[in-house]
A and B are shown apart, each in its own frame.
Chain A
Amino acid sequence: MTAYLLRRLLYAVPILIGVNLLTFALFFLVNTPDDMARLHLGVKRVTPEAVQKWKAERGYDKPLLFNAGAAGLAKVSDTIFFRHSLAMFAFRFGASDDGRDIAGEIKTRMWPSLAIALPTFVIGLAVDISVALILLFFRRTYVEWTGVVALVAMMSVSSLFYIIGGQYLFAKVWQLAPISGYQDGFNAARFVWLPILIGVVGGIGAGARWYRTLFLEEAGKDYVRTARAKGLSEARVLFRHILKNGMVPILTGAVAVFPLLFMGSLIMESFFGIPGLGSYTIDAINAQDFAIVRAMVFLGAVLYIAGLILTDVSYTLVDPRVRLR
């Protein structure tokens, strides 16, 4: 397994370089360093000299990818891409374009993101599985038919609707939660329960439907028929046999997204005023802060790759037939 993991880690290097290159190209396709400077310096009374100085101080006065005027290795190394992107591989994110330490911001902001994303994920998983099992439990009753219709309807609704609707109902009409805001420590509970609830409810449609499909597949297998033939109750068949076997794809799927929880939710954090990494990314895109955008995209790519590797590892843990070589 060690060799396999090492190989996967080595594969990750060209993937990350590619991601970096793609982010770089996409960003600078729409933003020139001059544009970034002007956005940071403001629109009133900005002189071309000030723009030039701003670029020089941050290394944005270099060529983008290839420095024809330089000699030797400097042709490649004395470029914006090399100077700004390679340090990422050592997880040195540097400073944002307005001079703030990005690593420090990430460390501070990942906790509010996790305060929402982790409970949403765990509770959401439990609720989705429960709903899927309930639908199976009440198979061929009106509960299943209306439930499936409701799930399809729920997954068709935009997440923005859940957020605005949830805020309207729980925070504005019923006044049970602050509409937006955040406080540190245990006080965070007052602010995060509503986004968590909305996140869980908003995810039921797609999640429960997917798990129902998995469980239905299991329900048709021989061992289930045998269990029923033995006279076991439907509840026992579901929760002792189908659930246990259906958990393999669920757990491996969950492991894949687990690392990405650090990245937070872009829209949810923005609407609820949660100072997490999602809102950090959105604000950086709006402010054309390349340093933050590339750091967040790189971090997202690293976490995604980590998630995929963990998925492979988790397969070996839950299914003894799988071996990594």
Chain B
Amino acid sequence: MRPVFFCLLVFVLSACSGPMNDPYPKSEDGKAILYSAFDEPPKHLDPARSYASNEVVYLAQIYEPPLQYHYFKRPYELIPLTASALPRPVYVDADGRPLGADAPAERIAESVYEIHIRPGIYFQPHAAFAGKRELTAADYVYEVKRLAHPGLHSPIFGLMSDYIVGLRELGTELERAAKTSRGWLDMRRYPLAGAQVVDRYTYRIRVKGKYPQFVYWLAMAFFAPMPWEVDAWASRPEAVADNRTLDTWPVGTGPYMMTEHRYNRRIRLARNPNFRGEAYPDAGAAGDAAAGLLADAGKTMPFIDEAVYTKESESIPYWNKFLQGWYDSSGIGSDNFDQAVRVGAGGESELTPAMRAKGIALKTSVATTSFYTGFNMLDPVVGGLDERHRKLRQALAIAVDIEEYIAIFANGRGIPAQGPLPPGLFGYRDGAAGINPVVYDWVAGKPRRKPIAEARRLLAEAGYPDGRDAATGKPLVLNLDTMARGPDDKARLDWLRKQFRKLDIELVVRGTDYNRFQDKMREGTEQIFEWGWNADYPDPENFLFLLYGPNRKVGAGGENATNYVNPEFDRLFVQMKDMDNGPARQAVIDRMVAMLRQDSPWLFGFHPKDYVLHHAWLKNVKPNQMANNGLKYRRIDVAARATARKAWNRPHWAGPVLAVLVLAVALVPAWLAYRKRQEARAR
């Protein structure tokens, strides 16, 4: 009985000392801890392997690559993190002679980046270190070599092998070494011509040809420092058996370090006591100062002591806990959208009175993402670059009303795409100059979708008057291959069928699971499909390469899912990717985008708008699609949070007491009847 009694005692005591629905231990009361949640555990936390958005949430607070994005400025701007300055590439020709910054790309044999890191930066405390361990250039070089480690399967090894001098050869050498030796591969023993230490605080990376986008990679965890001692320590069998590998326990120089990782349950980050401190930015974009985002300018970051991420499989508990104040911020699911946001007469989103009464704030930003419907260019019906097939795709692009789609299925959270580039990237054009003239007209200062009659005209010219093949008289039937098969998708797919029916075209939805869908895409047996791309870095190359011929999916296994091959587009892409941002590059991008609008291999969908809600006590929140190391900027007004939580979470006993009373009262007549029956005499 004692344990049961003890449990009850703990329960009653805890109920009396604060809100009964407090999901956190009492020891955390009054502390500057940020509470957040995840629905899917991170698969990889090794910086050489991790490439998912739900992993970078943790990695970006722990690891420090040499560069980072300015947190407030737009368009996105790279600034040094551990580097003392932004590296400027030195171009050399095939004989190693230096070239000028404006040298033509075809003459450039290599771009040499020399990166100088600031002294006095220390790693977090770790069992692998004898004492305080200073960050050196060798740690960065070590990590570049790890990209070639055969056991790590770094997702960017293939890409970087094309650029970093000697990386592919290092991969082959490491593969041989891994076969002969078991356990830890000490990367210091394997030289890499493309990544070398110059001195204690300087290292050099040699990149083949001209690759201006390389600096963006230097702001990602793939290029974060890795001390060899930690790699050796985490490769021990004991560490592997204890799940303490680098893939589960990151070790870095950043403002936070991991102090708890209970797989698929809870992740806790705490201040790194060895962190040097970083000053809060004193400049931002227009309006940031007025919004109070620069109030902490000059103060030393980070402000928050800990961040706790808890597994929440279901959206309902997450949302309700946010409303009760147990989570500091939340996204908005479609189920809760109407409860949180209402759309004004002018189409602007604003919080509902209930949300405003709680002091909740709404932050929106257009994601650097493009959703589109792709046509398989290898398909005999919808593919091909000839006039007939192009007009068919153009007709469909007009018929599918994306504005309606956004209003119905995305709660208005998105802007119709006029091309492959989302806003915020160089090359994106706004206003009349930025519309897709195949689909829109510019009327009264805004784009207006062309009438369906125009689509019918194009369809007739494509050889399908009234949706029938002019040659055979048979109705045109198109197929959408999709993974969306659930009940929630039915309305959306019905809507899509309706859009095609505007042109008397029948759309057949071929539902398939993820694996079969991937097979179809690899084999090029799909006809129409839905796809999307989220930017790795804010450069137009990162979207236009999705339509570059040599990147096609069928045959080359690339990311060009539509298998679009246009020699002129490919030529311009090669030219554009090596150019510096400026009017000349903009002109090339304009030509490429115009080409895509005419060819229409994508039915341009939309760029989603991210909506984030946060409580008033969480400060310095500004959505940033590129920088993931935002935790160090956040500040929490702990007292305000405690007051709000207490006020919002008072237990209500009247309900349960009433329920018990009703049940008891309902039984009284039965009890009386029973007594009467028991006391009755036989007659």
Contact = CB atoms under 8 A, between A and B. Distances in A.
B158 A45 contact: yes
Nearest to A138: B670
Given A171-B320, A186-B10, A181 B310 contact: yes
B262 A275 contact: yes
Given A183-B25, A189-B7, A173 B652 contact: yes
Interface in B308-336: 310-314, 316-317, 320-321, 324, 326
Interface string A267-282: 0001111010001101
A189 B11 CA distance: 6
A35 B519 CA distance: 9
A225 interface: no
Interface of A: 30-32, 35, 38-42, 44-50, 53-54, 57, 98-101, 104-105, 137-138, 141-143, 164, 167, 169-183, 186-187, 189-191, 193, 233-234, 270-273, 275, 279-280, 282-283
B312 A171 contact: no
16 contacts: A32-B515, A40-B43, A44-B155, A44-B536, A98-B43, A100-B263, A105-B263, A138-B674, A143-B667, A169-B655, A173-B652, A175-B324, A178-B326, A179-B324, A187-B14, A189-B8
Given A32-B515, A187-B25, A273 B652 contact: no
B312 A180 contact: yes
Given A53-B150, A175-B651, 4 more contacts: A40-B43, A41-B155, A98-B247, A100-B263
A101 B243 contact: yes
A175 B240 CA distance: 42
Contact of A48 (B11, B25, B52, B557): B557
B655 A270 contact: no
Interface of B: 6-8, 10-11, 14-15, 19-23, 25, 41, 43, 51-52, 150-151, 153, 155-159, 240-241, 243, 245, 247, 262-265, 310-314, 316-317, 320-321, 324, 326, 513-515, 518, 536, 557, 559, 649-653, 655-656, 667, 669-670, 673-674, 678
Contact of A30 (B20, B240, B316, B513): B513
Contacts of A272: 317
Contact of B155 (A45, A101, A177, A182): A45
Q: Which of B11, B52, B515, B655 has the most CB of A within 10 A?
A: B515
A266 to B, nearest CB: 11
Contacts of A57: 151
B21 A179 contact: yes
Contact of B153 (A41, A104, A172): A41
A49 B157 CA distance: 11
Given A99-B245, A189-B11, A30 B51 contact: no
A176 B22 CA distance: 9
Contacts of A173: 652, 655
Contacts of B310: 181, 273
A45 B51 contact: yes
B670 A143 contact: yes
B344 to A, nearest CB: 29
A273 B151 contact: no
A174 B653 contact: yes
Given A47-B158, A273-B312, A178 B10 contact: no
A53 B150 CA distance: 8
A100 B667 CA distance: 54
Contacts of A98: 43, 247
Contacts of B263: 100, 105
B678 to A, nearest CB: 6
Contacts of A45: 51, 155-156, 158-159, 559
Q: Which of A48, A105, A141 has the most CB of B within 10 A?
A: A141
Contacts of B317: 167, 179-180, 271-273
A233 B155 CA distance: 78
Contacts of A271: 313-314, 316-317
Contacts of B514: 35, 39
A35 B157 CA distance: 20
A137 B52 CA distance: 61
B670 A142 contact: yes
B292 to A, nearest CB: 31
Nearest to B55: A42
A172 B320 contact: yes
A189 B20 CA distance: 12
A275 B341 CA distance: 33
A227 B77 CA distance: 90
A166 to B, nearest CB: 12
Contact of B651 (A46, A50, A176, A193): A176
Given A45-B51, A46-B155, A53-B150, A234 B656 contact: no
A172 B320 CA distance: 7
Contacts of B324: 172, 175, 179
B670 A141 contact: yes
A280 B674 CA distance: 50
Closest 8 CB pairs of A and B: A35-B515, A181-B23, A178-B23, A180-B317, A143-B670, A275-B265, A270-B313, A179-B317
Nearest to B7: A189
A179 B678 contact: no
A27 B151 CA distance: 26
Contacts of A50: 153, 155, 157-158
Contacts of B669: 142
B313 A137 contact: no
Contacts of B667: 143
Contacts of A38: 515, 518
A93 B52 CA distance: 28
A22 to B, nearest CB: 20
Nearest to B3: A186
A173 B155 CA distance: 47
Contacts of B652: 173-176
Contacts of A138: 670, 673-674
A323 to B, nearest CB: 37
B656 A174 contact: yes
Given A41-B155, A233-B678, A273-B310, A177 B21 contact: yes
A39 to B, nearest CB: 8
Nearest to B12: A189
B241 A101 contact: yes
Contact of A174 (B15, B316, B655): B655
